[in-house]
Amino acid sequence: VPIVQTSTFVFENQQQMLDSVQGKSGGHVYTRWSNPTTKNVEEKISALEGTEDTHVLASGMAAISSAIIGIVKGGERILSSDSIYGGTVHLFDKILMQYGIQVDYVDTDELVNRLTDSRDTYKLCFFETPTNPTLKIVDIKKVADAAHATGTISMIDSTFGSPINQRPHLLGVDLVMHSATKYLGGHSDIIAGTISGSNELMANVRSAAKLLGGTMDPFASFLLDRGIKTLSVRMDRHNFNAKYLAEKLEKDSRIRKVHYPGLTSHPHHDIARKQMDGYGGMLSIELESNLAGTSKFVDSLEIFLNAVSLGGVESLASIPVLTTHYGIGEKALREMDIAESTVRLSVGIEEPSDLLQDLLAALDVIG
């Protein structure tokens, strides 16, 4: 599929244009509505996720906001796990509340019970697994089943997992969202988001997205398509490298805790093993240090780049309290199991022994 780098499309006559506007012909009218290059990558992501439809947008936050605004009305309520991306927390607490949408947070282990006990209370249940940044695992099928039993739409941020490691829709989740900036793109050179689901639900999401205007540029869609071509082989290396590092670091006394679902010591390892084909390239470590020492550790890394984001071929390191979860209250951080000494590692596809030596050298610097 060529890169159709255009904002508008030319028609032979008014009837042909009207047929496209009304959706009768399947033709494209305006790139804010649809574009052939973007449609091509949307079809590929639907095939990966096992969904009827996918909409690709200009960022992960555009995907989340378009889905929620397309489905949830003022006065309705959302149930969310308390361990989610900081940007999503700010969207829920600072934006949605202004429009009369209440979000109730619950511990990841209590999602199913809360859903079961709150029939007809919630329009939408939102959760992540693995969670950002402490890699908690939620039982996807149990949440999806509980949501369906109570008439609640389920929506997952599956960014950390990728469609190679987990396919939530096949386990019953209604809407699957990704920050495609991350593993789907894979090269840290685009900003993109995806939302996938049934044709019925996606019609509402697409209508909202069309008006909100978080449109994916056609060239960025081409780059996303390029990334998907190598997704499977990249994820194999991400999975291997992260598990290798987690197993090595777990034995280091200078590290208080290693968060990685592939470790048998992880509290939700059995759930992860049941619903994931691989455990992903993300891990978090909690150092035996304070914020100053943790900052020195990250600043001392050489292969791991000091940067936010994740899922690219290069390894990245960041401190959540200074980046993704900056500005979130101490109580909420504790509930997410995020400390000042927590470091999030996006493990790339470099030589694993080199990555380990980089981490060990930085640990030596802080003593």
Which domains can be identified in the chain, with CATH numbers?
Answer: 14-229 (3.40.640.10), 231-366 (3.90.1150.10)
98-155 confidence digits (pLDDT tens):
999 999 999 999 999 999 998 889 999 999 999 999 999 999 999 999 999 999 999 9
Distance, CA of 158 to CA of 87 (rounded, Å): 15
Among left, alpha and beta (phi > 0; psi -120 to 50; other), residue 84 is beta
| Residue indicated by tokens 């991350």 | 182
Q: Which residue in 157, 174, 225, 337 is the catalytic one? A: 157
Q: Residue 367 has what pLDDT?
A: 85
Q: For residues 48, 64, 88 and 147, what is the CA-based torsion angle, rounded to 10 degrees?
A: -70
27-54 confidence digits (pLDDT tens):
999 999 999 999 999 999 999 999 999 9
Q: Which residue in 53, 85, 174, 225 is the catalytic one? A: 85
Q: Residue 6 has what pLDDT?
A: 98
Distance, CA of 154 to CA of 329 (rounded, Å): 27
296 has catalytic annotation: no
157 has catalytic annotation: yes
Residues 6+ apart with CB under 8 A from 71: 123, 124, 153, 201, 204, 205
Q: Residue 119 has what pLDDT?
A: 83
**pLDDT tens-place values along the chain, 367 residues long:** 899 999 999 999 999 999 999 989 989 999 999 999 999 999 999 999 999 999 999 999 999 999 999 999 999 999 999 999 999 999 999 999 999 999 999 999 999 999 999 888 999 999 999 999 999 999 999 999 999 999 999 999 999 999 999 999 999 999 999 999 999 999 999 999 999 999 999 999 999 999 999 999 999 999 999 999 999 999 999 999 999 999 999 999 999 999 999 999 999 999 999 999 999 999 999 999 999 999 999 999 999 999 999 999 999 999 999 998 998 888 889 888 899 999 999 999 999 999 999 999 999 999 8
Q: Work out the burial of residue 94: count CB atoms within 10 Å of its CB; fewer than 13 is exposed, 13-18 middle, 19 or more buried.
A: exposed
Distance, CA of 188 to CA of 243 (rounded, Å): 22
Joined tokens for residue 176: 């699957």
Q: Residue 336 has what pLDDT?
A: 87
Q: Which residue in 123, 182, 234, 243 is the catalytic one? A: 182
Q: Which residue in 32, 237, 256, 296 is the catalytic one? A: 32
Distance, CA of 267 to CA of 19 (rounded, Å): 55
